[in-house]
Structure 1
């Protein structure tokens, strides 16, 4: 992406952000924070997969 394309993209995103009402932005932020996985859910989901890769690699 060239410099001009990047500036154009960032300008569009900023304008889009500024055009949305404050309450709608707040709702989106709350939805994103509520949808995040818990710490244990992330790590216990990753650890078995990593262990499986280790076992597979040793074979």
Structure 2
């Protein structure tokens, strides 16, 4: 039961802190968070898209090198 009370206390403090901030500051924080957010593919699928892109790049380079 104590864990639930601690969680409710944390949520209440977080909401109160958010509401007490000026509107401009909230907008600024949202904008900063949006700018630092990772790309959609990385957020949803982790490192897998990065690995696929790296392998694709290596494959294309090796194919171009063989054409010479």
- TM-score grouping bracket, smaller chain normalisation: 0.5 to 0.7
1:11-55 deviations in Å (ceiling 9; x for gaps): 111110111011100001001111122246x38x8133xxxxxxx
* Alignment TM-score, normalising by the size of structure 1: 0.62
Residue aligned with 1:29, SS: helix
Q: Which runs of 5+ in 1 are unaligned?
A: 49-59
Structure 1: 4+ residue segments shifted above 4 A: none
Higher relative contact order (CA 8 A, sep 6+): 2
Q: Which runs of 5+ in 2 are unaligned?
A: 52-68
**Which has the higher Rg, Structure 1 or Structure 2?**
2
| TM-score, scaled relative to structure 2 | 0.55
* Aligned residue pair count: 46
The root-mean-square deviation of aligned C-alpha atoms, in Å, is 2.1
**For residue 15 of structure 1, what is the aligned residue in structure 2?**
16
